[in-house]
Amino acid sequence: MDMLEADTTTQVNMEVVRPLANFPPSIWGDRFLSFCLDYSKLETHAKAMVKPKEELKRMIVDPNMDSNEKLNLINCVYRLGLKYMFNEEIDNQLDKLYKELKIEDYDEADLCMVSLYFQVFRQHGYRLSCDVFNKFKDFSSGKFKEYITRDVKGLLSFYESTQLRIHGETILDEAFVFTEARLKDTVDTTLEGNLAQQVKQALSFPFHRGLPIAEARLYFSNYEEECVKYDPIPKLANAHFNYCQLKQKEELRILTKWYKDMEFQKISPYAREKMPEMYLLNLAVYEEPHYSDSRIITTKILQLLLVLDDTFDAYGTIDELRLLTDAINRWEISALEILPEYIKPFYKIVLNEYAQLEKQADKEGRANVVNASKLAFQEIARAYLREAEWRHSKQAPSFQEYLENGMATSSYNVLVKSGLVGMGEVVTEEALAWHVSHPKILQASELIARIHNDVASYKFERKRAPGATSIDAYVKTFGVPEHVAVDELEKMIENKWKDLNEGCLKPTQVSHEMLSRIVNYARVVYVAYKFSDGFTFSKKTAFQDFITLLFETSIPMQH
């Protein structure tokens, strides 16, 4: 699976040759196991949210507020991760503002304001045309006008806007290259204070591709000026961060205890120990407090996938892996008899965890959602086996074969469907059917995951299994040098982001509530793999920084 691969070396045992991996130990130890939730503190923070929430609601619907100011306010609420509290009010306001938009609004607005309009509307699914940026370009020379290079705030906002581009938006493709180059030129030379921090953060992880839960905290500290303009916002954000941090630390404790109770270290000592990283990953996808069930379910399923992946990649022989895949396809306790001893405890846990999910879902009349997750789990086992067969036979597949299989091994199909189990009423029969149809937006997220991982880790992979990545398959199929293959795959990632962005624009077949989960998984992989394999080797990476920020750093003081 895309998050679950690493540098490996072959070790020889007298009886059997196993492709054992040198996975680094957990950098966290048991530190999250000792947390004790103080319910009175939780209650205090919940109460502290009530008054500023009401005040902010009144501001959002205030008919006398200037439209530019209103969009600024909505942007601030969105970036702080508070929109879910005001979904109806914000959607109504944006509908109204979008209908009232006139072209002269853009003629008068500066780059910062036009970019803000573009971001807010696009982030909420409105097809605002990229033509709004035409006035900043000199079409006779084909270049952007010189004066905008002096407006760093405007450039930064323009850069963030380019992340929302879809196919055919040439001006935004050009603007992405232009703004990124200009921001890199200025960040280390002329900028200081908050603006320097804002630009550095955006160049590392643009907001649209960052982890929403971490982006919200960073926005609170880096964009203090924007936050304090609206009196209720700092109070609400502060109480909300405190409330969420307590809930999240308790969920991480529950999951760490489950990991210990299931004795994963004992039954699969060859697999990675990554509970905090896995919890962060799923928290980034289901960030709202009320999706606790989705976070816990998907983190448990991800732990099962982690062991499965490491068994296929870094322990099992090909004969054992064929038996394991057969057992998972049969999905019955009697299949235990065909399995090697070491994998039997794991197989029992898989059946048992899914049985518990089914029991709960049956009570709610939602067994079909669990079944979708189970089918996806069986599919990923078959896809892992296909990869293992390629390695075993030393055959590099064609690029097309690799990609088709890689969509399954990315693991996102299993995780998204497992998360639906905890989302309740949002997941209608129609929404589930849409998911099962494997829509283009889901395929895009899976391919981003698969290719990003390969580009970040193919040099490590090659030591263990030549020909096992999309780079090797691309080189073989198209007969190009390795660096060309990497460039082409990076372009493919950018194109898939355009598919994701397009898939979120209205009209959509399912709610934004569901679409955002698929986009969030792409964000997770972007953050994990932009600079290296930050999931497996999380020391000194964004994953370590964000786990520290969210679960160990106290919340900024209230203003």
Mean pLDDT of 282-309: 97
CB 524 within 8 A of CB 445: no
pLDDT of residue 396 exceeding 90? no
- The H or E element containing residue 122 is helix 111-123
Whose tokens are 């205090």? That residue is 44
pLDDT value of position 337: 97
pLDDT value of position 467: 60
pLDDT value of position 14: 41
CATH number of 48-233: 1.50.10.130
pLDDT of residue 490 exceeding 90? yes
Q: Residue type at 470? A: S
Cα(335)–Cα(325) distance, integer angstroms: 11
Point out the least confidently predicted range of 122-126, 165-169, 279-283, 529-533.
529-533
Residue 176: band (very low, low, confident or very high) from pLDDT cuts 50, 70, 90: very high
pLDDT of residue 4 exceeding 60? no
Residue 294: band (very low, low, confident or very high) from pLDDT cuts 50, 70, 90: very high
pLDDT of residue 304 exceeding 60? yes
Residue 9: band (very low, low, confident or very high) from pLDDT cuts 50, 70, 90: very low
Residue 144: φ, ψ to 5°: -75, 150
Residue 466: band (very low, low, confident or very high) from pLDDT cuts 50, 70, 90: low
Establish whether domains 48-233 and 263-552 are of one fold: no
CB 155 within 8 A of CB 179: yes
Residue 191: band (very low, low, confident or very high) from pLDDT cuts 50, 70, 90: confident
**Cis status, amide bond into 507, omega within 30 of 0:** yes
CB atoms within 10 A of CB 538: 25
Alpha helices for 223-338 (secondary structure H):
224-228, 232-261, 264-267, 275-285, 292-314, 318-330
Residue 190: band (very low, low, confident or very high) from pLDDT cuts 50, 70, 90: confident
Burial of 66 (0-12, 13-18, 19+ CB in 10 A): exposed
Pairing assessment for the beta strands 137-138 and 17-18 based on DSSP bridges: unpaired
pLDDT of residue 7 exceeding 50? no
Tokens coding 136: 């900043």
Q: What is the dihedral of CA 397, 402, 408, 409, to 10 degrees?
A: 80
Cα(527)–Cα(530) distance, integer angstroms: 6
Fold of the domain spanning 263-552: Farnesyl Diphosphate Synthase (1.10.600)
Point out the least confidently predicted range of 76-90, 179-193, 479-493, 504-518.
179-193
pLDDT of residue 536 exceeding 80? no
pLDDT value of position 106: 75
pLDDT of residue 13 exceeding 90? no
Point out the least confidently predicted range of 43-52, 83-92, 180-189, 202-211.
180-189
Residue 8: φ, ψ to 5°: -135, 155
pLDDT value of position 368: 94
Cα(499)–Cα(493) distance, integer angstroms: 10
The maximal CA–CA distance of the chain, rounded, in angstroms, is 80
Spell out the domain ranges in the chain.
48-233, 263-552
Pairing assessment for the beta strands 143-144 and 137-138 based on DSSP bridges: antiparallel
Q: Could you read off the pLDDT of 397-411 as tens digits, one per residue?
A: 999 999 999 999 999
Q: Could you read off the pLDDT of 141-175 as tens digits, one per residue?
A: 999 999 999 999 999 999 999 999 999 999 999 99
Cα(160)–Cα(203) distance, integer angstroms: 9
With a CB cutoff of 8 Å and minimum separation 6, the contacts of 296 are 251, 254, 255, 422
pLDDT of residue 75 exceeding 80? yes
User: Three-state SS for 443?
Assistant: helix
244 to 73, 213, 241, 349, 519: CA distances (angstroms): 22, 10, 5, 30, 22
pLDDT of residue 271 exceeding 60? yes
Burial of 430 (0-12, 13-18, 19+ CB in 10 A): exposed
pLDDT of residue 12 exceeding 60? no
Q: Mean pLDDT for the chain?
A: 92
pLDDT of residue 5 exceeding 60? no
Mean pLDDT of 474-494: 95
With a CB cutoff of 8 Å and minimum separation 6, the contacts of 64 are none
CB atoms within 10 A of CB 146: 9
Cα(163)–Cα(523) distance, integer angstroms: 12
Q: Could you read off the pLDDT of 359-383 as tens digits, one per residue?
A: 999 988 889 999 999 999 999 999 9
pLDDT value of position 70: 97
Percent of the chain with pLDDT over 70: 94
Alpha carbon 414 to chain centroid, angstroms = 14
Alpha helices for 188-229 (secondary structure H):
193-204, 212-222, 224-228
CB atoms within 10 A of CB 351: 16
Where is pLDDT greater, at 44 or 104? 44
CB atoms within 10 A of CB 50: 11
107: left (phi over 0), alpha (psi -120 to 50) or beta: alpha
